Structure 1
Amino acid sequence: MIHARYLLETPLDPESVAAMMAGEQSAGTFVRVPGETDELRERHGARVQRLTVLGESDCPTLASAYLERKGVTGPWRRAEVEIAYPEDNVGVNLPTLAAVVAGNLFDLGEVTALKLLDVTLRPEYRARYPLPAMGIEGTRRCLDVHERPLFGTIIKPNIGMSPADIARLVQSLCEAGVDFIKDDEIVGNPACAPVKERVDSVMKVVRDHRERTGKEVMVAFNITDELDAMRRHADHVLAQGGNCVMASLNWCGLSAIQALRQHTPLCLHGHRNGSGAFGRHPAHGIAFPAWQTLYRLAGADHLHVHGMGGKFADATDEVALAARRCLTPLGSEDDRVLPVFSSGQWAGTLPSTHARIGGSQDFLFLAGGGILAHPEGPRAGVESLRAAWEAVTAGEDLRQHAKRSPALARALDSFGSR
């Protein structure tokens, strides 16, 4: 069975509404129809596994014209509901899996708020979908970095530079010692830097750096587009010696990401931009644990989780939970994906990042301004991150460690009040 957990708000009896949700998303509808036999319902009907009433409020989160027509008023009860759906209703069909656990549930008139909190699968069912192409260990092998987090940055300014400008910046970042560089999410195929020309210019720099130093740098080229174009772009990145592409998951969609994964062996860097529209409201939408399950089944190797104390609205606990979920296998094999911390990150946020995800070093730490805007330049920005990591592993306060690291000291002085 596929288990989905929800936060439900309704002025009606929560048990009745939960049963209706299970029927709506499986073998039933609002009335029994011919052919809907007991045997069919037993085979294909979803089941409410658990319901816990959490409390009530005097006003609804969202309006419902359906309830207003019927004159139904509060109180509005909240409950946590778990529903189990037969796997055979879905087969190996990721868009249908999403339609089953979410589908029309958010539109039901009886519901004034609904949040899909989590989706959990049997290891045997998860095994019917592909594993990540690289995941954590493959990314580490590619970069030959094993005993620390991966440190990276974002091309900034994020839009407006020519391919030659971007290549010069990438060259300076390679020389500064970064492990990873990515395009910004709004840079797909702009007139100022078309993706083919961008890949050609950047990969020449990366190949030259690789041949000269033996150091691999992973560049995530943003190839977000319609599917055929993404396939062409991925082929071109591979032909030029690249190892990673990036896509905006929410706007490409599950099927396109799944098809792209099947098409290319490249590492797939999954950007979550737009996820606030789905998950930011505490009572309505799709929470990250459920969202990440779907996109991991689609084939992402890396997933953005936002950042500790960053510029986005997520609480620290939410960011930490998102990262820990990426580091938790969905099945019995190692199908973990690399959590990517981004948004306002710098050397000063590294210790809390490490601590809040249980001491793991398996994460990609992207510092845009934290590297590019360091007063002494990108090399010092990278040095400040490595010095902060040395302090973390030694159990030393950053200020104390900064006495032996000018790059870290300047980062603390420059970014510490932000």
Structure 2
Amino acid sequence: MSDLRYEATYLIETPFEPAKVAEVIAGEQSSGTFTRVPGETDDLRARARADVLSIELLEQVSTPSLSNAFLERKGVQGPWQRARVRLSFPADNVGANLPTLVATVSGNLYDLGEVTGLRLESLSLPAAYRDQFDKPRVGIAGTRQATGVAQGALVGTIIKPNVGFTAEQTAELVAQLCAAGVDFIKDDEVCANPAHAPLAARVPAVMRVVREHAERTGKHVMVAFNISDEIDPMRRHADLVVAEGGSCVMASLNWVGHAGMQTLRRHTPLAIHGHRNGYGAWSRHPLLGMSIPAYQTLWRLAGVDHLHVHGVQGKFAQPDAEVIEGIHDCYQPLAGDASDVSMPIVSSGQWAGTVPATFAAAQSDDVVFMSGGGVLAHPDGAAAGVASIRQAWAATMAGQDIFADGPQPSELARALAFFGH
């Protein structure tokens, strides 16, 4: 047995005394339940029970954030008190078991009758506990090495149309995108192993043109093949990518699951591109689900190399503050190991005009800047779209205002005129 403990911080809303609710949470997710039970001795509690470390009272509200049939049956009225509570859990209760860790720090907590809102905000892990889980094998440094991009943002794009292309049509588009100068190409999350372009045909077709491009130019373009599936098919597909000389696979995190991602990480040396589609179900209500640091921590424990963070000034509902938090969280080692970082994937409605806001947010060029329409829909073609993004990054990092500082290179100027301010 060890004395290792990890911490979790929650935002809660309750009509009861927050200190009592914090104790309910501590008991429910460790040694007991809502009341002490036979067998839950003082010695067992001392060894296995979670502890309440702190309670910060926040505002009171006059209406609950979420409905609660338990409270309605009992006729419990407000006001409803919000609070931030920090708990400490014995690591030995879980061990190196990621699904059980997730069940412990979230799980039934979202269903507790005592709360009308609960959100996991953050996790803090001691180094000795973090080391029991997987770490990224490729990360930021390995992605740069594989693509040959030593500095500057990596410019990426997405296969569009999302679905419908045959394997050969996909390969033709990839050849065009390689010639256009991209560093990174990925499948869309809804295109994994369709009948019209099965991975068994698509991977060889695409990698043939990627290899031909590399032979001509010396440039390896990283392609993230979407292999989201059951465990055995994912392993087979990853092996095919390796056999064809590929460097990356992609999986939909929320639907493959933590155990699935761990199995994939342990099976393949490829970069694992983690797509977070569906995260809005965990995040869009401020008193429910998980904040981005907690969410990303749990996936980083599965050894994911790349993490989607959406895009600054993008097309989705998330505020820029969440995107920025996601970017910076990727750069923070989980427990002191400087190499334990993931590459943030900036994506959703991105084009040359969102580069300044992205750089201002990240304060770094360690990003893959994904642009679908911003590349493919550029009025002068994909190569001009890629050039416009590179020009925007160069100007922004040089301290120039691309919207105001005089004449621009033609590709950037056309992008600004076509896509709008």
TM-score (norm 2): 0.97
Shift of 1:399: 3.5
Shift of 1:402: 6.8
Shift of 1:11: 0.6
Residues 174-323 of structure 1 aligned to structure 2 (within 5 Å): 174-323=178-327
Shift of 1:177: 0.5
* Pairing 1:86–2:86 present: no
Question: For residue 54 of structure 2, what is the aligned residue in structure 1?
Answer: 50
SS at structure 1 position matched to 2:121: strand
Look up the equivalent residue of 2:122 and give its one-letter code.
Answer: D
Quick check: 2:139–2:306 contact (8 Å CA) kept in 1? yes
In the alignment, the residues of structure 1 paired with residue 327 and residue 351 of structure 2 have an alpha-carbon distance, to the nearest angstrom, of 17
Look up the equivalent residue of 1:51 and give its one-letter code.
Answer: I
1:361 maps to which of 356, 365, 369: 365
Residues 375-394 of structure 1 aligned to structure 2 (within 5 Å): 375-394=379-398
Question: For residue 18 of structure 1, what is the aligned residue in structure 2?
Answer: 22
CA deviation vs aligned residue, 1:202-241 (integer Å, no higher than 9, x gap): 0100011111110010000000011111001000111011
Shift of 1:332: 2.0
In the alignment, the residues of structure 2 paired with residue 400 and residue 409 of structure 1 have an alpha-carbon distance, to the nearest angstrom, of 11
SS at structure 1 position matched to 2:380: coil
Quick check: 2:310–2:345 contact (8 Å CA) kept in 1? yes
Distance 1:402 1:207, change over 3 A: farther
Look up the equivalent residue of 1:345 and give its one-letter code.
Answer: Q
Look up the equivalent residue of 1:132 and give its one-letter code.
Answer: P
2:344 maps to which of 319, 339, 357: 339
Quick check: 2:402–2:408 contact (8 Å CA) kept in 1? no
Shift of 1:154: 0.2
In the alignment, the residues of structure 1 paired with residue 408 and residue 367 of structure 2 have an alpha-carbon distance, to the nearest angstrom, of 26
Q: Which moved more, 1:124-133 or 1:3-12?
A: 124-133
* Pairing 1:325–2:329 present: yes
The gaps in structure 1 that reach 5 residues or longer are none
Q: Which moved more, 1:53-62 or 1:397-406?
A: 397-406
Look up the equivalent residue of 2:272 and give its one-letter code.
Answer: L
Kindly report structure 1 stretches of 4+ aligned residues shifted beyond 6 Å: none
* Pairing 1:108–2:112 present: yes
In the alignment, the residues of structure 1 paired with residue 224 and residue 105 of structure 2 have an alpha-carbon distance, to the nearest angstrom, of 31
Quick check: 1:399–1:409 contact (8 Å CA) kept in 2? no
* Pairing 1:374–2:381 present: no
Quick check: 2:395–2:401 contact (8 Å CA) kept in 1? yes
* Pairing 1:59–2:63 present: yes
In the alignment, the residues of structure 1 paired with residue 134 and residue 258 of structure 2 have an alpha-carbon distance, to the nearest angstrom, of 14
Question: For residue 348 of structure 1, what is the aligned residue in structure 2?
Answer: 353
Look up the equivalent residue of 1:386 and give its one-letter code.
Answer: R
Shift of 1:400: 5.0
SS at structure 1 position matched to 2:242: helix
In the alignment, the residues of structure 2 paired with residue 219 and residue 281 of structure 1 have an alpha-carbon distance, to the nearest angstrom, of 34
Count of matched residue pairs: 416
In the alignment, the residues of structure 1 paired with residue 417 and residue 296 of structure 2 have an alpha-carbon distance, to the nearest angstrom, of 36
SS at structure 1 position matched to 2:298: helix
SS at structure 1 position matched to 2:95: coil
In the alignment, the residues of structure 2 paired with residue 168 and residue 403 of structure 1 have an alpha-carbon distance, to the nearest angstrom, of 35
In the alignment, the residues of structure 1 paired with residue 278 and residue 406 of structure 2 have an alpha-carbon distance, to the nearest angstrom, of 37
Shift of 1:63: 1.5
In the alignment, the residues of structure 2 paired with residue 414 and residue 38 of structure 1 have an alpha-carbon distance, to the nearest angstrom, of 70
In the alignment, the residues of structure 2 paired with residue 119 and residue 404 of structure 1 have an alpha-carbon distance, to the nearest angstrom, of 45
In the alignment, the residues of structure 1 paired with residue 406 and residue 419 of structure 2 have an alpha-carbon distance, to the nearest angstrom, of 14
Quick check: 1:11–1:72 contact (8 Å CA) kept in 2? yes
Shift of 1:31: 2.2
Residues 126-141 of structure 1 aligned to structure 2 (within 5 Å): 126-141=130-145
In the alignment, the residues of structure 2 paired with residue 206 and residue 51 of structure 1 have an alpha-carbon distance, to the nearest angstrom, of 55
Quick check: 2:135–2:302 contact (8 Å CA) kept in 1? no
Quick check: 1:402–1:408 contact (8 Å CA) kept in 2? no
CA deviation vs aligned residue, 1:294-319 (integer Å, no higher than 9, x gap): 10001110000000111101111111
In the alignment, the residues of structure 2 paired with residue 106 and residue 393 of structure 1 have an alpha-carbon distance, to the nearest angstrom, of 44
Look up the equivalent residue of 1:19 and give its one-letter code.
Answer: E
CA deviation vs aligned residue, 1:312-350 (integer Å, no higher than 9, x gap): 011111110111001111022121000000000011111
Quick check: 2:135–2:304 contact (8 Å CA) kept in 1? no
Q: Which moved more, 1:122-131 or 1:142-151?
A: 122-131
Quick check: 1:350–1:388 contact (8 Å CA) kept in 2? yes
SS at structure 1 position matched to 2:100: helix
Question: For residue 159 of structure 2, what is the aligned residue in structure 1?
Answer: 155
Shift of 1:130: 2.2
In the alignment, the residues of structure 2 paired with residue 88 and residue 71 of structure 1 have an alpha-carbon distance, to the nearest angstrom, of 39
In the alignment, the residues of structure 2 paired with residue 414 and residue 394 of structure 1 have an alpha-carbon distance, to the nearest angstrom, of 24
Quick check: 1:306–1:343 contact (8 Å CA) kept in 2? yes
In the alignment, the residues of structure 1 paired with residue 347 and residue 157 of structure 2 have an alpha-carbon distance, to the nearest angstrom, of 9
TM-score (norm 1): 0.98
